[in-house]
Amino acid sequence: MHAQTRYYIQPDRVFDGFEMQEGWVVVVEGNRIVSAGPGTQIKVPSQATVLRFPGCTLLPGLIEGHSHLFLYPYNITDWDTQVLKETDTYRTVRATVHARNTLMAGVTTVRDLGTEGAGYADVALKRAINEGIVPGPRMVVAGRAIVSTGSYGPKGYDDDSKIMLGAEAADGNELIRVVRDQIGKGADFIKVYADYRWGPRGEDRPSFTLDELKLINEVARSSGRYLVCHAKSKEAIRRAVMAGAETIEHGDYLDEEIAQLMKQHGVTFFPTLGAVESIQRYRGWRKGTDADPALVQQKKKSFAIVYRAGVTIGLGGDVGVYPHGENVYELELMVEYGMSAIDALRAATSVNARTLHMENEIGSIKPGMLADLVVVKGNPLKSISDLRQVRWVMKDGVVYRDEK
């Protein structure tokens, strides 16, 4: 047994996952937080390394609720090409860099929502990170994710050729086997595309029946895992919520009634504002100069509805559509679209921890929690963009970034 490393960390203020606490200090021993409170009350323990961060804020390591570490921005390489023309091996090499960039940005946990054609490479990346082989955030992963036959892409190729999909297709009773197979291969939860843009005019329409979603949920839940649904249309969101989904991704076309349903069922909503704005920019939109495109207007409208209704909103930007390590972009948009900075900070920490069923380990600063911590210059309660000014990152008691 060797003595555990002790840190006494003194920034100007600490965001504890719920409130901003001026003048607090935090003590870490090994990989756990052992005390947190006013600096006037907590003394420096013996043999502790003292870290002072004047002008800085200490927060729990940020938690990204909707990432795709196996994708990178579509303005560099479009989605079809990434899925069809890049090998899983190549994509995994890239993903290790995405993982490192994410951690260095102060994001110490990600929920990754599907490799989009790279099989279970996410399960392997998670293992390599846990073993300390490559630096990265702690990961909870979807694996391949599930789509209905006929709905998902890549699409539009000659019908004679067999084109691989960005997720695993299954329908009806076959879903039982596929859900169990994904669990067996390492899925921490089940991700389903409850709708997709396959309507007669290319509009988002449900891809599974309510009974199919209920079946998926029942099989996932009996293994202790939960259901996550990509859903933009009202009907798909309604079915997903009624089937027992715990989180709804995107939600572009939700209305007041659907927001109330989400609230009643206690689902967490991940708005993915960053993905929508990025794709519009890639198509030539000059934000601030040009008028908002229809999809951005729709996003602003639906975000205002859920926020007003009091639906739980987490940080989940669909990062990968925009660069890994730019996770704060989503929080900036949440604030721009009307959320208070304190709610945005909660979304990135305590709210996401609870949504991931990890609130007893991460997402807040109090004795007993894992030492996942980030220090930023400035005060993100005054300017959310200060979260970009990362000075120091600790994950599981190990310092990964130090720019004092």
Interface contacts to Zn ion, rule CB under 5 A: 113, 318
- Which two structure tokens, joined as six digits, stand for 11? 């920034």
- Considering the complex, state which of residue 318 and residue 326 has its C-beta at the smaller distance from Zn ion: 318
Alpha-carbon gap, residue 392 to 372, rounded angstroms: 11
Residue 279 CB, nearest approach to Zn ion (Å): 12
SS3 call for 22: strand
Residue 129 CB, nearest approach to Zn ion (Å): 20
Residue 286 CB, nearest approach to Zn ion (Å): 25
DSSP string, 344-357: HHHIIIIIHHHHTT
Q: Considering only CA atoms, which of 104, 123, 10 is closest in space to residue 56?
A: 10
DSSP string, 231-271: E-SHHHHHHHHHHT-SEEEE-TT--HHHHHHHHHTT-EEE-
- Considering the complex, state which of residue 108 and residue 115 has its C-beta at the smaller distance from Zn ion: 115
CA 281 → CA 98, 149, 196, 275, 370, distances in Å?
A: 21, 31, 22, 10, 38
Residue 319 CB, nearest approach to Zn ion (Å): 9
Going through 92-223 in order, the beta strands assigned E by DSSP cover: 107-112, 138-141, 146-147, 168-169, 190-193, 195-197, 204-206
- Considering the complex, state which of residue 113 and residue 236 has its C-beta at the smaller distance from Zn ion: 113
Residue 106, phi-psi category: left (phi > 0), alpha (psi -120 to 50), beta (remainder)? left
How many other CB atoms are found less than 10 A from the CB of residue 364?
Answer: 21
Q: Considering only CA atoms, which of 262, 318, 253 is closest in space to residue 74?
A: 318
Residue 169 CB, nearest approach to Zn ion (Å): 17
- Considering the complex, state which of residue 67 and residue 350 has its C-beta at the smaller distance from Zn ion: 67
Residue 187 CB, nearest approach to Zn ion (Å): 15
- Considering the complex, state which of residue 16 and residue 318 has its C-beta at the smaller distance from Zn ion: 318
- Considering the complex, state which of residue 65 and residue 293 has its C-beta at the smaller distance from Zn ion: 65
- Considering the complex, state which of residue 296 and residue 341 has its C-beta at the smaller distance from Zn ion: 296
- Which two structure tokens, joined as six digits, stand for 166? 């960005």
- Considering the complex, state which of residue 135 and residue 320 has its C-beta at the smaller distance from Zn ion: 320
Residue 383 CB, nearest approach to Zn ion (Å): 28
Q: Which residues pair with 390 in a beta bridge?
A: 376
Residue 329 CB, nearest approach to Zn ion (Å): 15
Alpha-carbon gap, residue 266 to 307, rounded angstroms: 14
